[in-house]
Amino acid sequence: MDTDVISIRPIPVTNFLAAQASQFASNGIFGFPHHHWFIWDCMKDFVQNYNGRIWGNQGPLLMTRRLRALCNLTNFHNVEDQSCKNISFLHPQRFYPIPYLAWRQYYRVWDTSPDFNDSYALHLWNFMNKEHKPVVAGSNILVENLYKTYCPTTYKDLIQGTEGSGHMQQNKTE
């Protein structure tokens, strides 16, 4: 998993790729045992098809290429995962219930917390946060509540260790 992913429950499968969208794999979240043939195929493809001029060619496009070479990918229906060749292709809701274009939703207060019952983890899209929106202690924004619930040790360390750094700030009005 990328470092900007909050795990919220165990992933019940071992050989999997996360779908970022229908028929499009992510490289930010995947799971395979050591020396798995699929990962070896990805490494060979990385070398054979390297092209630094194309965004994602060695990342999500690579994973998608390799998966498409094996499987007939179809659009997702409801929140059902796909499977082929003993590889699970997990529905976008599993890790990306808030898509990258909507990443700011993590930094707002919600009247009612969203339902992440179909998710195993949540990708926060930190790369998109060019504005460097901070997580302010006591702000009650979604990402603060996620840290408090699923990453309490990290939350405590961030609150105590980075006051004023712009990453996690304590609300001075408390």
Is 138 domain-assigned? Answer: yes
Over residues 12-19, mean pLDDT:
97
Instruction: Say how far apart CA 140 and CA 108 lie, in whole Å.
Output: 8
Is 123 domain-assigned? Answer: no
Residue span of the structural domain in which 59 resides: 5-94
- Confidence band, pLDDT 50/70/90 cuts, at residue 173: very low
Residue 52 has pLDDT above 90, yes or no: yes
User: pLDDT for 57-67, tens place per residue?
Assistant: 999 999 999 99
Pair (138, 83) in one structural domain: no
Is 140 domain-assigned? Answer: yes
* pLDDT score for 77: 87
Pair (15, 71) in one structural domain: yes
- Confidence band, pLDDT 50/70/90 cuts, at residue 162: low
pTM of the model: 0.87
- Confidence band, pLDDT 50/70/90 cuts, at residue 174: very low
